[in-house]
Amino acid sequence: MNVVRKEKEIGGRLLSIETGRMAKQANGAVVVRYGDTMVLATATCSSEPREDLDFFPLSVEYLERAYAAGKIPGGFFKREGRPGEKEILSARLIDRPIRPLFPKNFKNDTQVVVMVLSSDQENDADILGGIGASAALCISDIPFEQPIASVRVGKIGDEFIINPTFSQLEESTIDLVVSGTYDSITMVEGESLEISEAEMLEALRFGHRYIREIIDLENELIAEVAKPKMEVPEPEFPEELPAKVEELALAKIKEAIQITEKKARRTRLKEIRDEVMDALAEEYEDYTGIIKDFLEEMEKREVRRMIIEENRRLDGRGLDDIREVTCEVSVLPRAHGSALFTRGQTQALATTTLGTKIDEQIIDALEGESSKSYMLHYNFPGFSVGEVKPFRGVSRREVGHGHLAERALKPILPDEDSFPYTIRIVSDILESNGSSSMATVCAGSLSLMDAGVPVKCHVAGIAMGLIKEDEEVRVLTDILGDEDHLGDMDFKVAGTRDGITAFQMDIKISGITFEIMEEALKRAKAAREKILDIMEATIDRPRAEISPYAPRILSLVIPMDKVGMVIGPGGKTIRGIIEQTGVKIDIEDGTGFTIISSHDVEMAEKAKKMIEEIIEEPEVGKEYEAVVKRVTNFGAFAEFLPGKEGLIHISELDTRRVGTVTDIVKVGDKVHVILKAIDREGRYNLSRKEYLRRHQRDGQRQDSREHSRRPEREKKE
């Protein structure tokens, strides 16, 4: 195959898609370049279907190569290891929009691999991965419905920006990834600084215009090099089988879906499936998988019919009804902050732990090393859905849900200067029946306030669903797990009363209009405000004090020219402070921003005072407590600040005439003095006499005030 390259300017930079040069043995392979960021995307599938599976065996891998940024991996082995969080999240961004576009009956093992070959550390490669995956699939012989494209939308001031750079994102109020086909949006994920629903829709429309331009570019490549698609045969079965299955099961399924309790409903549906399988086992032994498909399709059809025709849902709620919500805080005695949020049969236990700078997460990414002082971790154990599931590390789903909730809460957190703690939130899902990530947002917000973190307000989240049959459309508020599985959309929206902070949407069908999304956002806002009412009734502001079990942190800024004084020769000075007080001290390179942490607030204050004394500039007229270091015939030299000595001349030792210096002070004595002057050579002149006179005058004034009040008091007596 010859090298074929198509290119187009998108957002002021050249986007190119090339095939025919790399990875030619894959079913499809392209190299996508944007600026100096390049990815290789490959699509490969097995030649035979997997008959033993009842799902589509698709895997998507996103791999960052250290050489892409001119780096050598850290660690002992000096090679890339297991995928990091960024790689997992990027793989999910690619997976979700392409998965619904494969034929339902396609069961061949399929793998999409995106490798980051070059990173200019300005353009994120995750967007290119989505474009590359689509192009590789479309030019291959793997059956894939139609091309998709992905873009990122930012907003600086009043201007939307397509595919903002990393530096532009730091100023942006929106970080929105949009994927879609030529006609509609299929996936949305991102965060924002409390934007309105109208602003979000505007951002989606803006992004979709560029999606169309990129798909046009893909189509140019497809028209020139695409292979004929492999055929996916329809399953074969006896003509009478669907009718027999319906005769045995339809009435029972209609009855079963009226059961509002999840576990009882699923138990009854399993019983129906077993009864049908037993009844048809002998005659249709070779069609068990097809019979299961018929039963699942029948359940889906009847649930959707009930919602469309009766406006009634599986648990008996109306379309806009929210399940019962309860909130509790301070449920764990030793956690710094804790909350239990329950919505129907979904329950999240969230804890907030406060740490010091040493607890920050160090991230070594292609874009460079950075630290992270706020983390949210989400755990989904099997017992939350009544299943036995082995614990084998964090799943991609757990990483994705935790990242979404983390983004939702980030805009309400205080800045590091005003609250210099490392914050870790952990959400353990104890029950799940739909939208546990949004329950995590609510529980996390409650636990932050319970921990005394000075957040500005609460954040709540809700998941919206959709049933669409031809022209009939029903938007569902607060969807169940089964409604997500059987429906056409899962749209999660989190935010405050003032606006949206995070969102995630997956569409399983084509034809979702902006009008439908507008309606979903409108209803999500109303539901969010109802949940916020309940959360605020539980706790409406952060605790006045943090937990007694949390470390106390104080901060100050050391001028860069005095950092060396605080550290001392070989670290002697700072070690001395730590040994005396037992605190932890972290001084940030390049800024002098200093964090002092201790579980004993008095020791933290003492350490801070010691540092302040070291960096303090002497001030004429100010009082100091000094220590006599040397005694001479003409006076005493005393250290009044760390490393700073001044002379107390014999004439300044006392208010009366002094014959010998040692009559008044000796080496090691502590004396109170006033800095009287700093001479031209920078020498400090101290005076004990002035200190005594000042306080003598203060005492006389106090006595005078007492005397003037005495007759009045005596008269009253």
Q: What DSSP line would sit under 72-127, residue for residue?
A: ---SSS-S--S--HHHHHHHHHHHHHHGGGS-TT--EEEEEEEEEEE--SSS-HHH
Q: What is the pLDDT of residue 555?
A: 86
Domain end point (choices 578, 611, 644)? 611
Name the nearest CA neighbour of 467 among 483, 491, 446, 455: 483
Q: Coil, strand, or helix at residue 381?
A: coil
Confidence of residue 561 (pLDDT cuts 50, 70, 90): confident
Average pLDDT, integer, range 250-266? 93
Residue 298, pLDDT above cutoff 50: yes
Distance CA 398, CA 378 (A): 6
Average pLDDT, integer, range 317-333? 96
Say what percent of the chain tops pLDDT 90: 77
On the 0-12 / 13-18 / 19+ scale of CB atoms within 10 A, 75 is exposed
Confidence of residue 700 (pLDDT cuts 50, 70, 90): low
In a domain, 616, yes or no: no
Distance CA 504, CA 31 (A): 28
Contacts of 171 (CB under 8 A, 6+ apart): 156
Do 469 and 341 share a domain, yes or no? Answer: yes
Q: What is the pLDDT of residue 511?
A: 67
Q: Coil, strand, or helix at residue 477?
A: strand
Do 193 and 112 share a domain, yes or no? Answer: yes
Please give the order of strands across the beta sheet that includes 108-118.
4-10, 13-19, 28-34, 37-49, 108-118, 58-64
Residues 211-232: tens digit of each pLDDT: 999 999 999 999 999 999 999 9
Higher-pLDDT residue of 104, 542 = 542
Residue 299, pLDDT above cutoff 70: yes
Q: What is the pLDDT of residue 322?
A: 96
For residue 658, give the CATH number of its domain: 2.40.50.140
In a domain, 55, yes or no: yes
Mean confidence (pLDDT) of the chain: 92
In a domain, 382, yes or no: yes
Confidence of residue 54 (pLDDT cuts 50, 70, 90): confident
Q: What is the pLDDT of residue 680?
A: 87
Confidence of residue 713 (pLDDT cuts 50, 70, 90): very low
* E strands, 559-622, in order: 584-587, 593-598
Residues 140-170: tens digit of each pLDDT: 999 999 999 999 999 999 999 999 999 999 9
In a domain, 716, yes or no: no
Residue the block writes with tokens 């070059």:
118
Do 639 and 602 share a domain, yes or no? Answer: no
Do 285 and 342 share a domain, yes or no? Answer: no
In a domain, 387, yes or no: yes
Number of neighbouring beta carbons within 10 Å of residue 617? 8
Residues 377-423: tens digit of each pLDDT: 999 999 999 899 888 889 999 999 999 999 999 999 999 888 989 99
* E strands, 432-565, in order: 460-469, 472-477, 489-495, 500-507, 552-557
Do 147 and 213 share a domain, yes or no? Answer: yes
- Virtual torsion, Cα 703, 704, 710, 711, nearest 10 deg: 160
Q: What is the DSSP letter of 669?
A: -
Do 276 and 153 share a domain, yes or no? Answer: no
For residue 96, give the CATH number of its domain: 3.30.230.70
Q: What is the pLDDT of residue 712?
A: 46
Q: How many CA atoms lie within 13 A of 692 on its CB side?
A: 9
Residues 480-529: tens digit of each pLDDT: 999 998 999 999 999 999 999 999 999 988 768 889 999 999 999 999 99
Distance CA 483, CA 488 (A): 9
Contacts of 381 (CB under 8 A, 6+ apart): 389, 391, 428, 429
Distance CA 443, CA 440 (A): 5
Do 637 and 574 share a domain, yes or no? Answer: no
In a domain, 105, yes or no: yes
Distances (CA, A) of 372 to 376, 509, 560: 11, 38, 24
Domain end point (choices 506, 538, 570)? 538
Domain end point (choices 512, 538, 564)? 538
Do 403 and 456 share a domain, yes or no? Answer: yes
Average pLDDT, integer, range 593-601? 88
In a domain, 705, yes or no: no
Residue the block writes with tokens 């998941």:
463
Residue the block writes with tokens 């009854």:
268
Distance CA 631, CA 382 (A): 77
- Determine the residue type at 187: M
Average pLDDT, integer, range 457-484? 94
Report which secondary-structure segment, H or E, holds 285: none
Q: What is the DSSP letter of 594?
A: E
Do 347 and 457 share a domain, yes or no? Answer: yes
Distance CA 665, CA 164 (A): 70
For residue 606, give the CATH number of its domain: 3.30.1370.10
- b/e map 497-521, b = 16+ CB within 10 Å: eebbbbbbbbbbebebeeebbeebb
Do 258 and 291 share a domain, yes or no? Answer: yes
Do 372 and 518 share a domain, yes or no? Answer: yes
Average pLDDT, integer, range 659-686? 93
Tally of structural domains, the chain: 5
In a domain, 233, yes or no: no
Range of the domain at 154: 4-225
Residue 714, pLDDT above cutoff 50: no
- Region label for 581, one of left (φ > 0), alpha (ψ between -120 and 50) or beta (otherwise): alpha
Stated length of the chain: 717
Helix 125-139 to helix 197-225 angle (10° resolution) is 40
Do 267 and 349 share a domain, yes or no? Answer: no
Distance CA 39, CA 121 (A): 13
Residues 326-373: tens digit of each pLDDT: 999 999 999 999 999 999 999 999 999 999 888 888 888 887 788 899
* Pick from 115-119, 480-484, 586-590, 648-652: least confident: 586-590
Asked if 426 contacts 379 with a C-beta cutoff of 8 angstroms, the reply is yes
